[in-house]
Structure 1
Amino acid sequence: VITTREDPQLPLARLRARGQMTELRAAHLRFTPSEAADFLNAAMGLDLSLADITALEERTEGWIAGLQLAAISIRGRDDVSGFIRAFTGDDRYIVDYLVEEVLQRQSKRVRSFLLQTSILERLSGPLCDAVTGRDDGKALLDSLERGNLFVVALDDTRHWYRYHHLFGDVLRMHAIEEEPEQVAVGHRRASEWFEANSLRADAIRHALAAEDFERAASLVELVAMGMLGSGQEPILYGWLTELPDEIVRARPVLSVNYAFASLSRDGLEAAEARLRDAERWLETPTNVPQPRDAPSDEMVVVDQKGFRSMPGTIAVARAYCAGARGDVAGMMEYAHQALDLLAAEDNLWRGAAAAILGIAYWTNGDLEPAYRSFTEGKARLETTGYTQFEISSVHSLADIRIAQGRLREAARIYEQALRLATEQGGRVWGTSDLYVGLSDLHRERNDLEIATQYLLRSKELGEHMALADTRHRWYVAMARVKAIEGDLVSALDLLDEAERQYVENPDPDVRPIAALKTQGWVAQGRLADALDWVRERGLTVDDDISYLREFEHLTLVRILVARYRHEREDRFVHDASGLLERLLDAAEEGERTGSIIEILVLLALAREAQGDISHAIQPLERALALAEPEGYVRLFVDEGLPMKTLLSEASAQGILPYYTSRLLAAFDVDGRIRQEPSCLPAVQSLADPLSQRELEVLQLIAQGLSNREIGERLFLALDTVKGHNRKIFGKLDVQRRTEAIVRARELGLL
């Protein structure tokens, strides 16, 4: 048995090939997550959650000594999770160990190499030579690996390596302390090497670290256009925010790219300020681009092609901003301007302009012209390789077909896009949104299991795979599933989160989240809250009819019918019916079959509320005839028992017997239609009783779930869970989870 840090001077390769040697190396000695859990909680006497253990195991990479030193640092801390999130190589125990046991034991040559190359996230011989100015990089890396000195090979060819995370932290800290001037030099050399080897992202990162901002700005300008629409906007935005403002403002192409990158982050005003920065150079009499190292008071252009197309791309950006402000006329004006300015072969920006023009038509309710414009835009974008732009147009095409009542075609649009994303490896930005779209269509057909599976698949892919403009859709879709399950409390919580996730964008907000929430309040009988919303929105039955406000007016109709059922005043149902007739005329003129079906359903319900079943059947029969070919189910079933009464009568009259039987069967298997679940204890002796949601959170706290795990279980944001915790603790008059559990049991709440 031989134990050694370094490989012994033996014919290891021959012994290994003959099977005459058993090796236990560092990888075998690292703790697995389960072993780390046993060690930290059993051996070290801690009580860490699974999430905290996983985070610590990943940070230490299973290094046993590192876990032990971390455990020593954790003892006695109140915010354990916060400490673990921030745990790095600057922890005093880690620093002392690695300095005394590793760094100080190296020769001056090796120590200098370690400190100089600590700035690198990954290491190769040639790269290390460029940074250190030496020629022994490959030999030293091989030596460090053989000596098991916290160097990890990243490939089987032993070309790329990295330092162990904690060791790298310690090295960087010492490099800054001992050779601060060399750190900037090293970053600059690394940037030059990465640029020469066509690794521009790394080149930019090191240029920024060296604070060589002119160099970084030039590099960013060359890659920015390729990053827009490819899911890399957050990275681009991060780089741009690190650049001094005066450098960005001197570069018109970079300013335009900054405007696009900031649209979904800093808002319209910030984006428009960047566009004005770019436009001032177009108005300058001498528009001669300067070299990359020109002073900041003169225009600098590196991307010459981007500069030539800049007037057109600015018009595209202006059209986008106009749409986000709800200025439809401005959208059309700037989109047409962009199409006039852009070169015929500029498929990327001409495609974007055509798509924005489609949005303008869509906002006005002109769905077929909108569909044609989107189709043209998508066809152009398909030639560019910008898959994300293609996918973003998919949502618009599908939404338009849904508004036209063509659900099957909408499903085909999503399925084709999903196949495209799958061909790209399934990691295309926006892929998770496609599953959300398909989920909603399956929900409408009452395929609830499939709908839920698609939502879970979307969540597995993660929010980083969702478009910023459509991230809220997941919460809306899950809310509608929860409502079908009878859990209106969860549904409304999810809609609250959807509002927080919503980002202003040019797509017409034809189904506002606030209106969906209001419909939930109506289902709960919270008419006072619903009427407050009506007043806030300034809605009346005499408003001008527009497609953009159609859903809000349909929500107003639901409130009026609910008031009639509650108060039996004829004026409410009379006003509702009059508004519905006007909405129906507008929808028929715009050939919006999806809207027509919903309006006819509400007309039938308004007449049913009056007890006029015979007249209620007339609009219902037409709605059924329009809906049956596309397989609508939830549009009818979600209306509850009044609709079941009407469908039973329609079935008795022989109206579309197969379809009405299918809809009635959906009622039979759905026992919780529009019912508020009741899981509150019979008695709460608290002066301020816990809400249903607070009780659910309390139950999960008692099961030992962390805040993050509770959020995942209930589909809530982490901040929302923490807010529920604060309310629970306040109502129970406690400070900690353990106290809350004890107090809740005393009160019979658990």
Structure 2
Amino acid sequence: MMSLSGRSAANDEFQSANSGLQRGELVRELLSQRLRMPAIPADALPRPHLTTQIAEALSPRGVLFVEAPCGYGKSHAIAVGVQSESAGLSADTVHWLPLTAQDNAPTRFLSLLSIALNVPDTCESSLQGGTAFADTLAIMLLALQKSSPAQRSVLVLDGLHHLTNPAVIALLQQLVADLPSQLSLALISRQALPFETHALELENRFVRIGPDNLEFSRNETFEFFSEALGAKRLTSVAVDHLYNLTEGWPTPLALYRLDIQNNPERRLVSETPSVERFLKESVLGGLTQGQLCSLRAFAELDLYSDELLLTLEPVIPEGFMLPSEASALGLPVSTLPGWGRWQRFNPLLKEWLQTPVMPGYADRMLAASRWFRSSGQFPEALKYALLAGDSEAISDIATQGSEALLLGQDTASLLRLRQSLPARMLENSPRLKVVYSWVHAIGGQFQQARALIESLDPQSTQAHEARLSALRAFILRAEGQVEPALAMAGQALSGPELSPQGQLVTHMVRASALCAAGQFQEAREANREASRLAREAGDAGSEALAVFAHARIELGKGALRYSEQLLRTGLDTVMQELTRPARIGETRLQLNLALVLWHQGRYAEADRLLVTCGRHTEQARDIGLLLAMALRVLMCRAQGRLDDAFVWIGRAERTMHTWKVDEALYVPVLEALKASCWLAQKKPDNVARALTRLQPYMEAGCVPELFPMMPGLLDCLHVRLHLVRGETVQARETLEAACQRYGDAIPWGVGVHMRLLEALLASAEGNLMAARKIFVAVVAEAEQEHFISPFAELRQELGDLPAKAWNQLPDSRFREALGELLEVNRTQQMPELAEPISEREQGVLELIAQGLSNQGIADTLHISLHTVKTHARRINAKLDVRSRTQATVKARELGLL
């Protein structure tokens, strides 16, 4: 390496950074060995969307920044992206420079750049002449511009987090700002960039890819383990658990897949030696003992923030580090909106850090409980008091904050609390009995809720009459009894002592019941009153539930797009709250949004939402988990994964049984889902038995609160069973009876299902013209809201009807989505006639195909012989044929017969 003695004064401030470098000539050949692109494993998971995103970001003078913790496949993703066809690059135009902590000297960094960019003499000659570092880099970039101005290339700087010298960072910033026109830059780092990028973003030259883009989706995780699933080394339940634990963290998943391939004895992912080494050495390597103790304290909490951890500092042994400092180290944490800057660990790392338990656990949990209590967050205060095992604190919180606990909507914490409460406390407190009646009702345990109500003495019953009526209305609505719920809600609202919170809940019960009855205007008025009360109380959780109820009303009317807008606005509002919103309020918004996305066939978006809110509903013991699991079943069924659908049904059944939820709440839903899946498997006898078990619920007229469309869809299941069995007469009678029963109050979504069934019936009865006409009309109606779920549900039964009607559908995004769903391609589509066959001509054509003479047709249709001949001539002309036989053959080819 060149001597530093002749360096200009401009470089004096950097002498200390270079003092450790070996003097003498820089061996370029040695450093050149580092310039290698990572190899791509043969069994790597194809990720076309990510690859395309990377290729598009590498535009001329474009800067791609890939930031994620260790093990997210950053280098692998870039290597795949630059070698893809869409990137349009050859191997010799990709310059890959891996960086280490030894590259923090400016001269070394510039030498490496000159080697990577093939400008070998520029760096040494400029520095030997005393040129400043910035000028040396400018000369280098100018030389690159002149040497190959038309050849597009990419420079990849891998391991940017190793660069900490301010002089090197200044050079990096200069490189980003002054990129030559033919060069693109990819930066890979575990940490945020050490300089601003807003100017680049405004120039549309900067793209950031983060952990959310790099982690596997749930579907990708299943694809990644497809070989293990096929070989029966893993079950779908195990893969689903893997995904929930790792949240799609690629490297632990890859290490675990390798372990189960080589080790016949399966272990837990967190106990797999290679995964443990990865977490200990790669993710947490280099941290001090004090920093590790702080991380273990963070892992004991579901969510953490700087403010909370400052409270715990005295009870964290061997040192302290703030969460914001830990996040800056590039660890796998997620930052959550609400409550300021709150974070949580990746579940796999959290689980690993919690073993073994660190000394002082009870003290830390009690300190956390006190902090939450001082902030008025009673559900969280209760949770950590329970973890601390402090019975005195538990009783104190229960007595002081019983109403606040109910408002917090955390059913799980309250049920755990009941197990810890002294029996005498609950027995002697009518107020706590009422609170726990609500808790059991919210958790779907209606029998237990009623038992507590009935155990109240007459004096307490009279004192809490309005609140008890509100509770009974809530239970009746949850059980699907619409009219009794409305009557009881009216009785509750007429009571003088009903609290604002009680009024709010009762108005929401009324809104839900009125919506189920098809009285949408009255439902909207009840919901407006609930929203007003929530705003006046400043209760973000209840306000979120009011938005959820409003969206359900709009969904019942068929306004999918407006429902989505309401739900997203509600979620944005919740996220902007200064205090953490009630979890159930937020998850209900997410669940309903997932439902809308499923209706519109946006499965990937729905899947991401279900991962998040499914976990939260399970933690809070929110009965909304049943809806989340039902959506999982429906998505699996729509994608043809019937085995997975039954696995989800089994999981839902076990969970509801474990939670001791009343069977009336979940059995009808799960039986209906089984019947739908059995239809897809063509097992009509199983479907018939399921519908027999559902008959009592149908006769009772129950409309489940979470599944308001269910009664109509059960009618549709009966029609579909008749069609599968070829019982067209019974199918027609069942369909007409259902339509007559609903009248004008039929829910929009149910109506679309029934009209599709009407098209299938017409086709089964031999009236193809009518079937096509109905199908085209249903598509036109569903297209307004991109309502694709009925077509997904009836995909098998629709058969070739879509192909026969395809040419009558106008070009649109909805038609394109339907074509992909129903697998209608150009070879299946029927050639379009220049002039369509009229209904009267269709009738004549069908009789011609049956072999009737012209006179026979005239007698059958009660028209003149001349009219029959006129119709026959027009049919031949439209079909471009010359005889009755040719007309019949051509009509069959076109699907007209």
RMSD of equivalent CA atoms: 5.3
Correspondence for 1:580 = 735
Deviations 1:231-259 (A, max 9, x none): 43322332232122222121121221122
- Deviation of the 1:659 alpha carbon: 7.7
The match for 2:408 is 230
Q: Is the 8 A contact 1:191 1:202 kept in 2?
A: yes
Query: Is the 1:324–1:506 Cα contact (8 Å) retained in structure 2?
Result: no
Q: Please point out which of 811, 815, 819 is paired with 1:665.
A: 819
Shift in CA distance, 274/122, structure 1 to aligned 2, threshold 3 Å: farther
1:382 and 2:535 matched? yes
Deviation at 1:371, TM superposition (A): 3.7
**Match for residue 689 of structure 2?**
532
Q: Is the 8 A contact 2:618 2:625 kept in 1?
A: no
Return the offset for 1:204: 10
* Alignment counterpart, residue 593 of structure 1, candidates 744, 748, 751: 748
Q: CA deviation at 1:605?
A: 0.7
Structure-to-structure mapping, 1:597-616, within 5 angstroms: 597-616=752-771
Match of residue 801 from structure 2: 646
Question: Which one of 450, 472, 489 corresponds to residue 318 of structure 1?
Answer: 472
> 1:273 — aligned with what?
451
Shift of 1:494: 1.8
Is the contact between residue 436 and residue 477 of structure 1 (CA under 8 Å) also seen in structure 2? no
Structure 1 counterpart of 2:114: none
Partner of 2:601, secondary structure, is: coil
Q: Distance in 1 between matches of 2:458 and 2:568?
A: 45
Residues 372, 605 of structure 1: alpha-carbon distance in 2 compared, 3 angstrom cutoff: farther
- Residue 490 (structure 1) aligns with: 644
1:237 partner amino acid: L
Cα distance in 2 for partners of 1:206, 1:660 equals 53
The residue identity in structure 1 corresponding to 2:628 is W
Match of 1:550 in 2: 712
Normalised to the residue count of structure 1, the TM-score between the two structures is 0.56
Matches within 5 A, 1:411-490: 411-424=564-577, 428-430=582-584, 431-458=586-613, 462-464=616-618, 468-490=622-644
Show the counterpart of 2:238.
none
**Deviations, residues 651-695 of structure 1 (Å, cap 9, x unaligned):** 44x465658843653346589xxxxxxxxxxxxxxxxxxxxxxxx
For residues 124-203 of structure 1, the aligned pairs below 5 Å read 150=318
Aligned AA for 1:390? E
Aligned partner of 1:409 among 543, 547, 562:
562
Conserved 8 A contact 1:193-1:203: no
Rounded to whole Å, the distance in 1 between the matches of 2:818 and 2:360 is 70
Conservation of the 8 A alpha-carbon contact between 1:445 and 1:633? yes
Which of 476, 487, 500 is the matching residue for 1:333? 487
**What amino acid is the match of 1:373?**
A
Q: CA deviation at 1:403?
A: 3.0
Q: Percent identity?
A: 16
CA distance in 2, matches of 1:190, 1:646: 62
Matched, 1:52 2:271: yes
Instruction: Report the Cα distance in structure 2 between the residues aligned to 1:544 and 1:262, rounded to whole angstroms.
Output: 24
Conserved? CA contact 1:268–1:321, under 8 Å: yes
> Aligned partners of 2:558 and 2:797: how far apart in 1?
23
Kept in 2, the 8 Å contact 1:432–1:465? The answer is: no
In 1, the alpha carbon distance for the partners of 2:385 and 2:811 equals 70
What amino acid sits opposite 1:529 in the alignment? N
Could you tell me how far 1:518 is from its partner in structure 2?
Answer: 0.6
1:275 is aligned with what amino acid? Answer: I
Contact kept, 8 Å, 1:318 with 1:334, in 2: the verdict is yes
Q: Is the 8 A contact 1:256 1:275 kept in 2?
A: yes
Letter paired with 2:724: A
Find the residue that maps to 2:538 and give its secondary structure.
coil
Whether the aligned pair in 1 keeps the contact of 2:626 and 2:666 (CA below 8 Å) is no
Q: Report Cα offsets for 1:510-549 as digits up to 9, x if no partner.
A: 9823212211111111112111112223389999998763
3-state SS of paired residue (1:341): coil
- Paired with 1:356 and 1:202, the residues of 2 have a C-alpha distance of 29
Do the aligned partners of residues 587 and 385 (structure 1) sit closer, same or farther apart at CA in structure 2, a change above 3 Å counting?
same
1:279-290 matches, within 5 Å, as 279-282=457-460
Letter in 2 for 1:388: G
Instruction: Note the 1:28-47 alignment, pairs <5 A.
Output: none
- Within 2, Cα distance between the matches of 1:526 and 1:466? 37
- Residue 597 of structure 1 aligns to which amino acid in structure 2? V
Structure 1 residue 350: Cα displacement: 0.8
**Secondary structure in 1 aligned to 2:537?**
coil
Q: Residue 527 of structure 2 contacts residue 549 of structure 2 at CA under 8 Å; is this kept in 1?
A: yes
* Contact 1:359/1:508, CA 8 A, preserved across alignment: no
Structure 1 unaligned spans of 5+: 1-17, 20-32, 68-87, 89-120, 128-137, 158-163, 174-182, 285-307, 565-571, 672-750
**Aligned amino acid, residue 564 of structure 2:** A
Post-superposition offset of 1:574: 0.8
Verify the 8 A CA contact 2:603 2:635 in the aligned structure 1.
yes
- Cα–Cα, structure 1 residues 150 and 599, in superposed 2: closer, same or farther, change >3 Å? same
Seen in structure 2, the aligned counterparts of structure 1 residues 479 and 670 have a Cα distance that, compared at 3 Å, is: farther
CA shift at 1:354, angstroms? 0.7
- Give the superposition deviation at 1:600: 0.7
Report the alpha carbon displacement of residue 225 of structure 1 after superposing the two structures with TM: 1.1
Match of 1:355 in 2: 508
Measure the CA separation in 2 of the matches of 1:347 and 1:258: 19
Separation (CA, whole Å) in 2 of partners of 1:501 and 1:188: 30
Q: What is the number of residues matched between the two proteins?
A: 514
**TM-score, normalised via structure 2 length:** 0.48
Taking the aligned partners of 1:532 and 1:63, their CA distance within structure 2 comes to 59
- For residues 267 and 811 of structure 2, what CA distance do their matches in structure 1 show? 60
Give the conservation status (yes or no) of the 8 Å contact 1:604–1:620. Answer: yes
- CA separation in 2, counterparts of 1:469 and 1:313? 22
**1:254 alignment partner in structure 2:** 432
Structure 1 residue 631 and structure 2 residue 786: aligned? yes
Aligned CA distance change for structure 1 residues 600 and 55 (closer, same or farther; 3 Å): same
Shift of 1:395: 4.0
Quickly say closer, same or farther: Cα 1:403–1:480, change in 2 above 3 A: same
Q: Output the CA distance in 1 between the equivalents of 2:698 and 2:400.
A: 55
The answer (yes or no) to whether the contact 2:437–2:448 under 8 Å persists in 1 is: yes
User: 3-state DSSP class of the match of 2:784?
Assistant: helix
Tell me the CA shift for residue 270 of structure 1. Answer: 2.0
By how many angstroms is 1:341 displaced? Answer: 1.8
Rounded to whole Å, the distance in 1 between the matches of 2:821 and 2:324 is 60
Equivalent residues of 1:255, 1:275 under 8 A apart:
yes
Report if the CA contact (8 A) 2:680-2:796 is conserved. no
Supply the distance in 2 between the matched residues of 1:203 and 1:541 (Cα, whole angstroms). 41
8 A Cα contact 1:539 1:556, kept in partner:
no
Give the 3 Å change call, closer, same or farther, for CA 392–668 of structure 1 in structure 2.
Answer: same
CA distance in 1, matches of 2:387, 2:609: 41
Distance 2:394 2:547 in 1: 35
**Paired residue type of 2:566:** I
